[in-house]
A = this chain, B = another copy of it.
């Protein structure tokens, strides 16, 4: 097994989530917590009950407050450096569910500065992707009255004055340890984590009163908040709560995470039906056997089958149907081609609708952009 690395800019190897819970010092989402969520939301989102969102920091106090009538807000974000893929959408679909069920505000940060500083891409290209990526977020159906887009360079007047308050309390030694930085890193990369810390307090700053913050994120982003969490109380704010999601695997197998940088690893939100079909059929790692005969006899392995995982994580919310597919595939009754065909149909139905809404989103960006 390849040694696994998990940080905001690199995810390699087969991620051992049990180990991350220990290494990062986060808590598993247990049955009691799920029941508590259900008592408010009336249902448990498939990503919760299937342990895709599997860990947290300080979610209980957020629920304590909520039950007393003090609503939290959600802070999540997007690093705009290229086309978006299903890995991005999955986390945000869960975020939208949280918004709907808890009826709360979502502050959505577009970290264009981060992507410019960390990628070999021009400022102009990052700006283009910022605008493109917004369309996908809007298409997911976030409530325009309760969703606020913040772009780091466009809203620097709001973010930078707060960011330096975090920066003053974070040393190079700290970011070196948290992110594995060396002295040849650029000084923007070194500063950046303080910009990502700010949205967790921004609504409180603007409202002039404390509003609890909940951050749903892919667990690879956790190091930013490990660094910043110690600072929030020093600035007079409570530590934000975090819900940690697993990372959608790339087409090629269960190592690393889906990324637009690898052409054959990701289903993009703008892929047409033929492209999706081709990508799944050609690249999606199969847990099936080498021959049909062998598969009929031994059955497939759903744990490593990427198509099954995509159904489990996003595209088959119906537990009964998913259990049936699992049974059929593991028994050999269902072939890999049939499993892939089922997934392709699901993805294409979803993307057809998504792409329609994405077109409609072009006239709605202003509604979502935060302005005072």
Identify the A interface with B (CB < 8 A). Answer: 113, 116-117, 123, 152-157, 159-161, 163-165, 167-173, 175-176, 181, 183-191, 193-194
Contacts and interface: CB of A to CB of B under 8 A. Distances in A.
Nearest to A158: B156
A184 B156 contact: no
B187 A116 contact: no
Contacts of A167: 117, 186-189, 191
Contacts of A159: 156
24 contacts: A116-B164, A116-B165, A116-B168, A123-B165, A153-B160, A155-B157, A156-B159, A167-B187, A167-B188, A167-B191, A168-B188, A170-B186, A171-B185, A172-B181, A172-B183, A172-B184, A172-B185, A172-B187, A176-B183, A187-B190, A187-B193, A187-B194, A188-B191, A190-B191
Contacts of A187: 167, 170-172, 175, 190-191, 193-194
Of the candidates A155, A163, A168, the one having the most CB atoms from chain B within 10 angstroms of its own CB is A168
Given A113-B164, A164-B153, A183 B173 contact: yes
A7 to B, nearest CB: 16
Contacts of A175: 187
Contacts of A169: 186
A170 B169 CA distance: 22
A110 B168 CA distance: 18
Contacts of A184: 171-173
A282 B123 CA distance: 57
Of the candidates A157, A163, A171, A191, the one having the most CB atoms from chain B within 10 angstroms of its own CB is A191
B171 A188 contact: no
Contacts of A171: 183-187
Contact of A156 (B161, B181, B183): B161
* For the complex of A and B, 8 pairs with smallest distance between CB atoms: A167-B188, A191-B191, A156-B160, A156-B156, A153-B161, A173-B183, A157-B157, A172-B183
A159 B191 CA distance: 15
Contacts of A176: 183
Contact of A172 (B153, B160, B161, B172): B172
